[in-house]
Every structure is written in structure tokens, then in C-alpha cells.
């Protein structure tokens, strides 16, 4: 069962930092349009087109927004999501989860307090990516026994 807090968004919208490389640009653009319609505050950290770029540069931009409390959560998109997750997780305090379905996303939030969602444009269709994103934004961390485990990571 998903734990959501819909009233939170009515009082203070989440700020979401998005970033992608060229391989994730089109999915990023579509997801940005979807969440902007739902009244989230969006920061687009690039890339702004499909010209080849290096994914670690855009992971860094999003990670810094999250670590500096300029964004509540981050979303990173590349071809598979794997490179972005690897780059983001190099930073203490970032818990980036590469997710391909709603259940993975739900567990990443409930049990691991993921603060960055990584998606792969080449492996997740737009509908599933949207469902994962909404799950990521609306699911709360359960705390309890899971907090003890997170403390061991940080």
C-alpha cells in the first residue's frame, strides 16, 4: 500500500530538480510538462537539446540542488538510468534509485528514502516513467527500522 501525503502539496509544493543527458532529453521534456501541470515547482538543470553531452555533468547539477536544499528531490534521466545513478550516488547524502517500475519506486521511497529518481529513456516507456515519477513524488519514507539502515549508509 502506498503512503502518500496529498495535503502536503496543497500547502507547500515540492521543488523538483530535473536533469538529463542527450539520451534522456525527450523523456525529461515530456515528464517536465506533466509535473508542471500538477503544480510542482520544477528546476530544469539541462541538457536543453539532444546534442551529445556527458551525463556526470548533469547528475552533478541536480545533486547539488538537492544537497543545497534548493530542491526537495531530483530526477535524472539518461539512456538506462544506470550511469546517472552511479554518478549521483558518489555524493554523501544522495540516495539515487534507478527504477523501471512502480514497485521499485515505491520501495525506494518507503524503505530507502530515495531523494533522486533515475530513469532510462531507452528502457522505460513514457507511461511507466510517468507512473514512477508520480509514485516517487507522492510516497513518503516510512522511517522506523529503515532509518537505522540508512544511518549505516551515511
- Separation of alpha carbons 117 and 90, rounded Å: 15
Question: Contact, 94 vs 53, CB < 8 A?
Answer: no
Alpha carbon of 47 to those of 1, 13, 59: distances in Å?
Answer: 35, 24, 11
Catalytic hit among 91, 111, 130, 146 = 111
Q: Does the annotation mark 9 as catalytic?
A: no
Contacts of residue 61, Cβ cutoff 8 Å, sequence gap at least 6: 17, 19, 45, 46
Residue with cell 534522456: 24
Cell of 128: 511507466
Residues involved in catalysis? 111
Amino acid at each position: 500500500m502506498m503512503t502518500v501525503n496529498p495535503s502536503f502539496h496543497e500547502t507547500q509544493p515540492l521543488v523538483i530538480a530535473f536533469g538529463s543527458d542527450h539520451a534522456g532529453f525527450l523523456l525529461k521534456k515530456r515528464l517536465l510538462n506533466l509535473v508542471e501541470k500538477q503544480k510542482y515547482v520544477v528546476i530544469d538543470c539541462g541538457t536543453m537539446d539532444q546534442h551529445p553531452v556527458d551525463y556526470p555533468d548533469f547528475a552533478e547539477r541536480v545533486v547539488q540542488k538537492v544537497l543545497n536544499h534548493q530542491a526537495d528531490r531530483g530526477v535524472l534521466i539518461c539512456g538506462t538510468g544506470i550511469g546517472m545513478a552511479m554518478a549521483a550516488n558518489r555524493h554523501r547524502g544522495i540516495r539515487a534509485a534507478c527504477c523501471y517500475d512502480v514497485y521499485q519506486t515505491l520501495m525506494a521511497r518507503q524503505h530507502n528514502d530515495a531523494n533522486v529518481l533515475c530513469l532510462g529513456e531507452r528502457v522505460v516507456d513514457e507511461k511507466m516513467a510517468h507512473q514512477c515519477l508520480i509514485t516517487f513524488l507522492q510516497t513518503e519514507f516510512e522511517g522506523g527500522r529503515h532509518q537505522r539502515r540508512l544511518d549505516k549508509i551515511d
